[in-house]
Amino acid sequence: MRARMYGLVKRTPLGPYVNNCPPIRIGPERLYVWTHALMQTGQVPGSVVEVGCSLGGTAMWCDRMLRQSSVHKEYVAIDTFTGFVPEQFNADVALGTPSRLRRTFDYISLPAVRRSAQKMGAPDIRFIQGDICRMSAEQLPRQISACLVDVDLSQPVHAALTKVYPRLAPGGVIVVDDCPEGDDYKARIGYQRFVAEQGLEERYVLGMGVVTEPAADIDFGRLGA
């Protein structure tokens, strides 16, 4: 019955949406920052990592972009695939995140995301299911050329930066989504805590926090904070 319904929907104007197009859940200007970082680190050795991939739309789009630009790197996409971890979300409610956002991502299914990746022509993405706060850093690639941290909350942002930064290749870059001042999500607090601990400068490009490896030569031109 379910398969028949699916077949019927596929033949309506909704077809392309249910069939092939997982949404990209990052703002268009921030997708630009991420794709720009990926292209600028094309020659930097190491894997690409996205921490917080949701339905995988950005991962699939960017994995194809790299391959179609003759940049052949492993793309690793990490998520709980069950949404926010309750205690991490509660910690940010205490910092001002509205409670209504609690269930924003709890509808995701890893098998469905894998099927979309096949259909979207990005079958080689390596999906890892886990909470970045609890995950061993050993599960991450040994060397990382570029990383998108898009987990929204302060604690997993801090954990992702702490685990990824030591693995960043010379010339590599990390960008952190949801870092504008006053945002509902408190990613900025996790980013600020990490850069303060490391003695790094805070740097923002179009609402994203940026961390670069000292040898990095990434030019974000005149893009504002």
Which residues of the chain form contacts with ligand SAM (CB under 6 A)? 24-26, 50, 52-54, 57-58, 78-80, 83-85, 88, 105, 108, 131-133, 150-153, 156
Beta strands in 62-197 (DSSP E): 75-79, 126-129, 144-149, 168-176
Q: Shortest gap between Cβ of 116 and ligand SAM (angstroms)? A: 12
Q: Name which of 151 and 169 has its Cβ closer to ligand SAM.
A: 151
Contact between 53 and 127 (Cβ < 8 Å)? yes
Query: Which CB, 46 or 57, lies closer to ligand SAM?
Result: 57
DSSP character for 131? -
Q: Report, in Å, the least distance between residue 47 CB and ligand SAM.
A: 16
Identify whether the C-beta of residue 200 lies closer than 8 Å to the C-beta of residue 160.
no
Q: What is the DSSP string of 40-67?
A: HTTTS-SEEEEE--TTSHHHHHHHHHHH
Choose between 8 and 184: whose C-beta lies nearer to ligand SAM: 184
Q: How far is the CB of 218 from ligand SAM (least distance, A)?
A: 20
- Name residues whose C-beta falls within 8 Å of residue 31's C-beta, 6 or more positions apart in sequence: 24, 58, 61
* In the complex, least distance from residue 4 CB atom to ligand SAM, rounded to whole angstroms: 30
The residue (of 12 and 19) whose beta carbon lies closer to ligand SAM is 19
